[in-house]
Structure 1
Amino acid sequence: MKHLITAAALALGTTLAAGAAWAEGQTHHIAFHVNQNDPQVMNMALNNVANVNKYYQSQGDTTVIEVVTYGPGFNMLVAGKSPVADRISAMSLEIEGLSFAACGNTHRKMSEKAGHKVALLDEAGVVPSGVVRLVELQQQGYAYVRP
């Protein structure tokens, strides 16, 4: 049986080192979508992020997670306004590969309405469009989650 498996691996262009594990940890790419200005939804999204990361870590895997906000959900990333700012700050330090994307369209509109540039949390990066970012991530193979 061992020779059959080794032959099959060689036929596929791979080699098996003595004692090598069949599969090393995988990396899971997940996009979370937040478009509601509701602390309960924001906390649910962050709970999902923490739970997914914890599960995959327990399996020996890693995660790359991006939380994308737009519309009313943009408030999740607004400095001085976010009801989950402390959690975002802590989670950003605890979870490698976690990022937060704020919609540039929403940012521009909110800034125009406020009469000044709306400040974002330090953990937030701005993307041109939240919806387009979600499309791009899904096209790159990210799993899509909307709490």
Structure 2
Amino acid sequence: MLKRLFAIALIALVTAAGSVSAEETERYGKQKVVYHINYDGGPESKAYRGAMRNIQNHINAVGAENMDIKVVLHGNGLGLLMTAKQDDTLQTAVSSLKCQNVSFHVCNNTLKGRKISYENDLYDTWDEDIVPSGVAELSRLQQMGYTYIKP
């Protein structure tokens, strides 16, 4: 219970800290971005934590109200949500981003090919988060004008 309260307080703090000035809003304008994660997080999930920090820093600079962010996970990238099942720091990062309207898109091809159950094996993942193909989703979003970033 204490961990959950801490996570909620941290989310509120991060969201409040993410407010940007009118000058910054003018500089960056509205942005549509897709972050691509298909790699292993490495020791202590360092790469996953770094990616979550990159996304939060992006929001802090531009403002959540000016962002439309999608995170596409496929292949080894599903390890982010698998690791988050037991990692409070990653749980907090994912939950905080979701509270700022970041959506996570999970590749169904990877789920099937690796026999992963999104209900049991991935943190905070729902049916509406599943896309048929991670790579096809990346292409679709880029065709819709999303800027591609691979942290």
TM-score higher than 0.5 here? yes
Residues 1:31 and 2:34 aligned together: yes
**Equivalent runs, 1:1-147 vs 2, <5 Å:** 26-38=29-41, 39-57=45-63, 62-78=66-82, 80=85, 84-93=90-99, 95=100, 97-111=101-115, 117-118=117-118, 119=120, 120-123=122-125, 125-147=129-151
- The CA RMSD measured in Å over matched residues stands at 2.4
Distance 2:125 2:109 in 1: 18
Runs of 4+ in structure 1 displaced over 6 angstroms? none
Q: Where do 5+ consecutive residues of structure 2 fail to align?
A: 1-25
Distance 2:148 2:135 in 1: 12
| CA deviation string 1:40-81 (max 9, x = no partner) | 221121111111111112xx9610001111101111123636
Give the structure with higher Rg (CA). 1
Higher helix share: 2
Identity %: 28
Q: Given that residues 92 and 123 in structure 1 are in contact (C-alpha distance below 8 angstroms), is that contact kept between their aligned partners in structure 2?
A: no
Q: Which runs of 5+ in 1 are unaligned?
A: 1-22
**Equivalent-residue separation in structure 2 for 1:31 and 1:100 (angstroms):** 10
**Normalized against structure 2, the TM-score is what?**
0.67
State the aligned residue count.
116
